[in-house]
Structure 1
Amino acid sequence: MRAARAVRAVLGLLLPLTVTAAMGAQATAAPAPAPASAVTAIRGGDALYSSAGSRCAVGFNATDGNAFYALMPGLCGSAGTQWFADAQRQVPVGETVTSHFPGGNYSVIRYTDPDLEYPSEVTTSTGPSRVERAIAPAPGMRICRSGPGSGWRCGAIQQVNVSVQYPEGVLNGLFRANVCAEPGDIGGPAVSGDAAVGVLVSATGNCATGGTTYYQPVVGPLSETGLRVGY
């Protein structure tokens, strides 16, 4: 039952219980998904498709020095979830090895396809952009967000240490920004320059009328898992 709720939440762009989803028309800033045969690399902001039927964007690629991983929201899938590079689920790319939700909101996917590249980069409106480090969020910090639903969107952090109510419980320690999102953007990375800041976990509004987004900071999860960006 819990897993089923998580899948439904991902498909609907998970929102706090106290707000209503504004499911407007899809923005046109996001490029169409590449055919499975054309995928040679996976970057932050690119879509992955789970064996449970959900879709989430990669937050950030990371490494422990031995293997490559994707940092994503915990709501995207529990440990053991299989992930694919294509909507037809014909190109397996990894498996969730740890997931924290609720109580935290991040998960780690271990990449398993040796034929793909996993650079420390995010997808932007003008091409890949390198991620060199991770930093903590701060009010007023300028950020840009990438996602397969609405593409590359920018704004500023409004508040840190925000709490959001989910069906499974309250999540603490998030940050809020005046950046819009659309369905399909969940999981996407927020960067400030060349620094990883957070992954998208919730949103209100849309990109036609404006919206607010909430993010899990990445400094803590990277430290807890022993992973690093900027390799």
Structure 2
Amino acid sequence: MPRKVLRPLLPAAALAFTAALGPAAAAVAVPGAEDGPRCGAAELARLDGLKSDLDARAEAGTAGRAQYWYVDPQACRLSVTVLPDNGDGRTEDFVGAALAAPGLTQLTEVAEPVGRRIALAPAAAGHTLRGPGTLHGGSAIYSGTSGLVYRCTNGFNNYRPGTTTTAGHCGHAAKTWYDAGGNRLGTVTDWRYPGADWSVITPVSGWSLPGDVLGAAAPITGFGKAALGEPVCGRGSTSGTSCGQVTALNVTVNYPDGVVRGLVRSNQSGGEGDSGGPVYDGGTGLGLISGGASSGSPTFFQPLNF
């Protein structure tokens, strides 16, 4: 039998409840994604309002052990994911607010917390400085040249002309970045984290910024918006190339150091160091890797809307 997530805050008839343990909870199907929303306009408006209320509570620091939530238009539900052992007051209050629309909320329990995919790692050793060269999408980038430094992944070149991209929490962690050879790449000149999760890096003079991604079959020729059920691939400096499917849109993620709205969830895998890596469908760039479960799936990515 499913294990109860927390003490009921409403009568049992008001709970639309699913308990799932471990990574399998993240690898969800997207039935009927091609058919469009099944909710009526009034139901969608109610769910969107309920999600906005949860977003505001989370940004005030009162989400407790809730991990992420989103409106599922196919199921006509607000989906809320929580960690086990969540009977603390903040989590109960948060879930109680989610259950304000009886029959329209689904709770799912997962064993692993979600986190950002930035890594703390030794700087690349034994490099020979050669100055600016060619920077490919999906390449490892480092916040320093000696000792323990942050490692992230380069995203898309020329999303903003003459610049490159990575995750916002990478730009929050350090303002100057280097390639794996210890050559200075450039400086973060625009970023947002938390709230959203993107950074723009302006390279020093001399870097070549081709429109490719390591491991991709085709160059990136344009940028677009992810769709529910769409096949996607991502490239991280730790995990290499991993592919999957978009399973949710407009997801709010409750990272330990801040709340991020508007992310896309996929069932592709990943690991620490992949933050900022490009997510794409064929030759179309769709987003930048933000974070995910420690087991590798799900993955959340920031849309290209900045």
Could you tell me the TM-score, scaled by structure 2's length? 0.55
Task: For residue 170 of structure 1, give the secondary structure of its aligned residue in structure 2.
Answer: strand
Within 5 Å, give how 1:1-231 maps onto structure 2: 18=83, 19-20=112-113, 40-51=133-144, 53-62=149-158, 64-65=160-161, 68-78=162-172, 81-86=175-180, 90-114=182-206, 116-124=207-215, 129-206=218-295, 211-218=297-304, 220-221=305-306
Are the equivalent residues in 1 in contact too, given 2:188–2:200 (CA < 8 A)?
yes
**Structure 1 residues 166 and 63: CA distance shift in structure 2, 3 A:** closer
**More strand by proportion, 1 or 2?**
1
Is contact 1:125–1:151 with CA below 8 Å preserved after alignment?
Answer: no
Aligned residues: 187
User: Does the aligned pair in 1 maintain the 2:143–2:174 contact within 8 Å?
Assistant: no
| Structure 1 pair 152–79 and aligned structure 2 pair: CA distance change class (3 A) | closer
User: Contact 1:181–1:213 (CA<8 Å) still a contact in 2?
Assistant: yes
Question: Identity of aligned pairs, percent?
Answer: 28
- Show structure 1 runs of 5+ residues with no match: 1-14, 23-31, 222-231
User: What residue is the counterpart of 1:227 in the other structure?
Assistant: none
Separation (CA, whole Å) in 1 of partners of 2:300 and 2:126? 28
* More relative contact order, 1 or 2 (CA 8 Å, 6+ apart): 1
Which 4+ residue blocks in structure 1 deviate beyond 3 angstroms? 15-22, 32-40
Other structure's SS at 1:41 match:
coil
- 1:78 Cα shift? 3.3
Q: Tell me the TM-score normalised to structure 1 length.
A: 0.71
> CA separation in 1, counterparts of 2:279 and 2:261?
18
Mark the CA change 1:192 to 1:80 in structure 2 (over 3 Å): closer, same or farther: same
Deviation at 1:170, TM superposition (A): 1.8
Partners of 2:292 and 2:128 in 1: CA distance: 29
Bigger fraction of residues in helix:
2
Counterpart AA for 2:113: T
Backbone CA RMSD of aligned residues: 3.0
Structure 2 spans left out of the alignment, 5+ residues? 1-66, 69-81, 84-111, 116-123
Q: What amino acid sits opposite 2:268 in the alignment?
A: V
CA distance in 1, matches of 2:125, 2:274: 13
- Greater gyration radius: 2
Relative to structure 1, the CA distance from residue 124 to residue 33 in structure 2 (aligned partners, 3 Å threshold; closer, same or farther) is farther
Partners of 1:152 and 1:197 in 2: CA distance: 15
Are 1:185 and 1:200, in contact at CA under 8 Å, matched by a contact in 2?
Answer: yes
Please say if residues 60 and 70 of structure 1, whose CA atoms lie closer than 8 Å, have aligned partners that are also in contact. yes
User: In the aligned structure 1, how far is the partner of 2:286 from the partner of 2:159?
Assistant: 17
